[in-house]
Each structure stands twice: as C-alpha cells, then as structure tokens.
Chains A and B, each alone.
Chain A
Amino acid sequence: MSQAVLDPGAASARNMDLLRFATAGSVDDGKSTLIGRLLYDTKTIFADQLEAVEAASASRGDEYTNLALLTDGLRAEREQGITIDVAYRYFATPRRKFIIADTPGHIQYTRNMVTGASTADLALILVDARKGLVEQSRRHAFLCSLLRVPHLVLCVNKMDLVDWDQQVFEKIADEFTSFAAKLDAPDLTVIPISALNGDNIASRSEASPWYEGPSLLHHLEHVHIASDRNLVDVRFPVQYVIRPQSTTVTDYRGYAGQVASGVLKPGDEVMVLPSGLHSTIAGIDTADGPVDEAFPPMSVTVRLTDEIDISRGDMICRPHNAPAVAQDIEAMICWMDESAQLRVGAKYTIKHTTRTARTVVRGLQYRLDVNTLHRDDAADGLGLNEIGRVRLRTTVPLLADEYRRNRTTGGFILIDESTNRTVAAGMIIEAG
C-alpha cells in the first residue's frame, strides 16, 4: 500500500465513515506498540509528540522509545508505568476515521474495558505468540461478547519471536475460535502480526506467505459495519422538546432526539410510550432543512400531526413493534465503584435512554467469574469489577429492549444517590 493511499488528505476525506474500536491487552502484549504503529503508519504521530516521548523515554532510562508514553498522559501513570484510564486516540485513512478506546489490560480494570467496549463497533484483542491465550485474553473476549461488540479481531503479536511459525499461529487461532464460539461471539478475524516491525499492520508482510487474510489496517478499513445498526425496530427516545418562544417562529413543537434504531419517515404511523397514544409523523426536521427519513445515529427533530402530551424520556416507536414497558428488569451488571458494593435491597438512580428513574435491587441471582464463567449463586453482593445477574424494580416503567437486540435501548447505568457516582453498567436480559 503506498503512502499516498494512507494520507487522510483534503477534500476526499470529508466522506469517510466512522469506526470506533476498543483495544485490550497489557503492555506486555505490545498493545501500546501496536497503537503507536497504527498511528505512525497513518501519519498520525506528530514530530513534537515523538520528540517529547523520546525525551521522556531517555530520562526514564528506557532503552527504546517507549510508545506507551504517547497514550499514558497522566503524571501518576508515567510515575507508576501503568495505564489508569481509558484513553481515546484518533486516526484516519481516506476511507475511515477511527476512534480508539484504549483500555488498560490489568485485572483490576474490567471497568475500563467495559466502558471502552460499550460504544465499540469492533474490539481488538492482543496475545503474545510465545504465550498463547492467557486468562486475560479469555476475559477480554467474554467482556466483548457481554457488551455485544459486533466484530472481534484477535492479533497474535510478536510472531517474529516464534519465527513466523504457522503452526503456532494456527494453534492459537483454533483455540480462540472455539472459545469464542462458546461465547456466541459475532464476527471473528485472527491476524498474525509483529507490531514492533510493522508486519501485517498497514500491509501484508512477506514474513508470512502462508497467511492469506488481510492486514490489520485493511481489515479495519473494510470491515462491514453498516449492517450492525438495527434498522428494523423504530426507537426514538425523546430527548428535548423544542418549542421556540419567539415572534418569528410560532406554533412549532418538535421532539428532538437521536435515532436509536429503525428508520423514521414522514407519514409513518407511530405510537408514543408510555402513553400508548397513536399519531403520525408530520415531518422530520434538522437545522439544514426537513429530511425524508431519519436513521441511526442521526440527531433530528420529529413533528407529529396530533397534539399529544410528550416529554423527555418518552419513546416514539411503531404500533406493531414496540419495546417493553416494564418496571421489572432482569439484567447483567458490571459493578464499577470501589467505595461501595452492590447490595440487594439498595436503591439507585437508573439512567436508561433519556429516561431517569429510581430503582431497587430485588435480587442477585449469581455472581459470574469472568475467567471460568462459573456462576456463584451464594454471592450476596458485587464489588468493583465484578459481574452478576440482578433483578431490578423501577419507580416508573422503562421503555426497554433486550440488550442483545438493541444496545441503545438495552443498556443502562446505575448512579449512587448520595455520591452521584456512576456505579454500574447494566445490560438488559429481559424486561417484563
């Protein structure tokens, strides 16, 4: 691939699409080197950044330019040589703009991995070819499947250190593929790479003539994500009511929001929840003028033909295809707070689409060991980074779908009512 092709140059770059991906792995797996390599090969690292990293590496006594310093920006991270938090990185090729949610791989940071995966179209998991799959790789794969990341890429790194042995690669690929099948993981691609040398990153490497798949960057550029969106179930959570009080615009009442799923068109018959009232879409507006249809992730303003009472937190859907209107929720929860545990009987604020309510934890069915997938029925609470299945009861109905069918109308967060901290992420299994 020529350099010109990689240059996210001028006018043509306006029509790129957007792919968000999460990376998981520890420093030892070469994750920072891989990200550094992607940024370098797409001309994203700037001269002054590289200079700063070189200077910092030298002053730390590192023997090589430590590309981890590019992403580890906080003082404590540099002092302790660890990554504390999700870091967001950006690069582009003429085809796509990429947003990387770079998450630390340490055992205690499940929270960050879940955070990064929640918005990801694709997750990239790294393993060291010499070590093969380790507990952490399985945990990362499990979390990606829990968060329903549609595409998974396993990069078998440091292939140069096993002399590009095809058998080593295939053993790891086979083992991971059968593990992923158990997880009901979606699309999986396995790529042999050397992040340090750049093999199979931006272009196919001569070091692996036996490998017939795409380079990593080629895969990232071409993986088909358009059909990952749910274009079937119309879900429009009302975010804000636009009702200008001015002399120039009168009688305007529009429901602003971002389309969660489905395709809305003027003339469509719709149902508004929780009221259940029916109406028809009179028009769909944007600041650039009316549009013929709206689909995810467009932010638009919907007008209806009837004057019905609609406010923030309501949902516009279709009469024959509606989410559950439910106060009893079964969900998987990832607990994210170090200062308190999830307890049965405790009350929290729940935020789901644009609706905020209160909820009580009615029951904890089990705590899940993310390494063995063993279910512990005797658990009586969830601590930081622990995952379990809970039953919730909410003060007002949620307008909810199963998370596996709809990541936007199936995901929620819990907020501690006294500290205001975000304490948990939830994925709805059943709303009834």
Chain B
Amino acid sequence: MSQTKDYRVSHLDALEAESIFVMREVMAEFERPVLLFSGGKDSIVMLRLAEKAFAPGRIPFPVMHVDTGHNFPEVLEYRDRRVAALGLNLVIASVQEAIDTGLVRELPDGTRNRIQTPVLLAAVEKYRFDALFGGARRDEEKARAKERMFSFRDEFGQWDPKNQRPELWALYNGKHHPGESIRVFPLSNWTELDVWHYIAKERVELPGIYYAHDREVVERGGMFYAVNEFIRLRDGETSQVRRVRYRTVGDASQTAAVLSEADTVEKVIDEVAATRITERGATRGDDKVSEAAMEDRKREGYF
C-alpha cells in the first residue's frame, strides 16, 4: 500500500456513496420499492443515483408520479423522456382522477397539495408498495431535520415524530408488518447547494424551468407566480414579463419563481451560495400557512 496517499474522498463522493448504499439496502430488504418522482431536481438526482447504484443493470423498481394535474408542461415532457430512456415503469397516481371518483374533494381554494396525500396512500395500498424513496432533504425544513433515513409509516401512512426508530451507524431498520411501509430518504444529508454541485458534476439534465427564462408572472406576497391556466389574474392585479427561474418544482398553482439571471448551472450555484432565503420559503405558498405546516402534512402521510 502506498504510504503517501491520503485516500481522500470529497463530500460529494461521500454523499453519493451513502445514498447508493441506502438504495441498495432497500432493494435487498424490501419486496416492492418505488421511487417517488415529481420531475423536480431532487427526484431527478435521486433517479441518477438509482441508475448508478444498480449499474450495469437497470433500475430495478418503478417510479411513481403523484400528479396533481397542475403541471409545468416542460416537467411532464422531461418525465416521459427520462422514463422511456431508462426503460422504467411509470405509475401515475392522479389527483384529478381521485377527485372525479370521489376519493378526495377539491378544496375551495383550488390548491391540491394537501389532497395529494390520500391519493398517494391509495396508490401505495393498490400496488402494495412497501418502500417509497422520497427526495426530501433535512436542510429543507425543520420538521424534516428530525426525519430518519428510513422513516416508518403505520398502516394509515402516518408519521409519528415522537416515536421514531433510533438510527445508528449505517444499520437501517426496515422491518414492518404487512400494510405498513417505510419512506426512505437517500438525500437526507444533502443540502440544496450539494444537489446543485452534483448536478454540475454529473452533468444532469434538468427541465428548462430551473434556469433563467422570460415568463409572464404576477407578484403576490413578494412571490412571483407564473400566469397560466392554474393561476389567473385577480381583480386589480397586473402581470409582467420577468426573467425568472424555479428553485423548486411542485404543484404549478403553488410554486413561485424567483427573479434570476442564472441561465447555466454554474450561475445557479453562485446564486444559491449567495441567497439569503431558504428554497421553500422563497417558492412555496404551502409552507407559509403555519409554523408547523410541514409537520402536520407529514403526520398525515405527506412526502
């Protein structure tokens, strides 16, 4: 062995190795894993990690999109292209369909974030998924800071933050009874900046809306929402064309853009490194409702 070599591992390589380890653990220990794929950058990175974890084989599990029906067309196009290129099975859990069949009821304000949860849980039950990969990161939100890598959900899909399994070393406890499931978060230890550095390093392609582009937007509460079929101008509002990009991609009726000139991954990294507002705080109307908004939704079985 060479005595001079220091066997250094960069933080991105260490994070990647950890995520790949977690994905292989799930594949080895569960019957029916599925990867939750929204077309957002975190789920795209997760898909890339899955590709790497099982190479030269194919990704050995399907992906599921919980489709609120409020989509950015660029994201759907990206989703379908990636799924086809990787030869994956795509399961679509449609919120619109669930509204039509009466499983959930449209909320008065028309937002669909909260009613995604029963749709997700119904799909889990229907396909008997026992492990669900999610792209959530602990740096996103303080309820998530206490989330486990392997997060137990009871037969109602509920998260009980006060009754979590301790997680030691890299020994993940995925034991569960039939009907129960485990949410697995391979990106737990990644930050927004890590994700962007990884996208740059791996040259991961993203939907165009992540980079600066001109878009017709309306300003509401300091946030810039795209004017489209889901967000219409209210009385007294005027739209304007601004140069924007999206920091997160969620329900198109709930996700706001940020003003930006960053049209390359390097420029985005510079912006992310310099920004003073969290990505959810800057872009998600749904997280501003109350101090415990995320905790409440997670308890119900949200992502």
Contacts and interface: CB of A to CB of B under 8 A. Distances in A.
Interface string A368-407: 0000000000000000000000000000000000000001
Contacts of B176: 420
A341 interface: no
A17 B281 contact: no
B168 A17 contact: no
Interface string A106-145: 0000011011001100000000000000000000000000
Closest 8 CB pairs of A and B: A73-B142, A244-B57, A287-B52, A48-B281, A420-B175, A287-B55, A18-B11, A299-B20
B273 A49 contact: no
B171 A412 contact: yes
B266 interface: yes
Interface string B267-303: 0011001111110011000000001100100000000
Interface residues of B, number: 73
Contacts of B175: 349, 415, 420
A364 interface: no
Given A11-B266, A56-B291, A411-B168, A46 B281 contact: yes
Contacts of B107: none
A221 to B, nearest CB: 13
Contact of A249 (B10, B56, B168, B173): B56
A89 to B, nearest CB: 7
B273 to A, nearest CB: 5
28 contacts: A13-B193, A14-B12, A14-B200, A16-B10, A18-B11, A73-B145, A74-B162, A84-B162, A85-B146, A87-B142, A88-B189, A89-B139, A90-B189, A92-B11, A226-B6, A229-B7, A243-B57, A249-B56, A252-B57, A258-B170, A286-B55, A287-B52, A288-B52, A299-B24, A411-B171, A413-B171, A413-B173, A420-B176
Interface string A297-333: 1110100000000001000000000000000000000
Interface stretch (A2-10, A153-161, A189-197, A201-209): A2-10
A65 interface: no
B52 A8 contact: no
A242 B273 contact: no
Contacts of A84: 146, 161-162
Nearest to A119: B169
Main secondary structure of the interface of A (DSSP, over half): mixed
Interface of B: 1, 6-18, 20-21, 24-25, 27-28, 51-58, 138-139, 141-146, 152, 161-162, 164-171, 173, 175-177, 188-189, 191, 193-194, 197, 200-201, 266, 269-270, 273-278, 281-282, 291-292, 295
A422 interface: yes
A263 interface: yes
Given A115-B168, A244-B58, A336-B166, A46 B276 contact: yes
A17 B171 contact: no
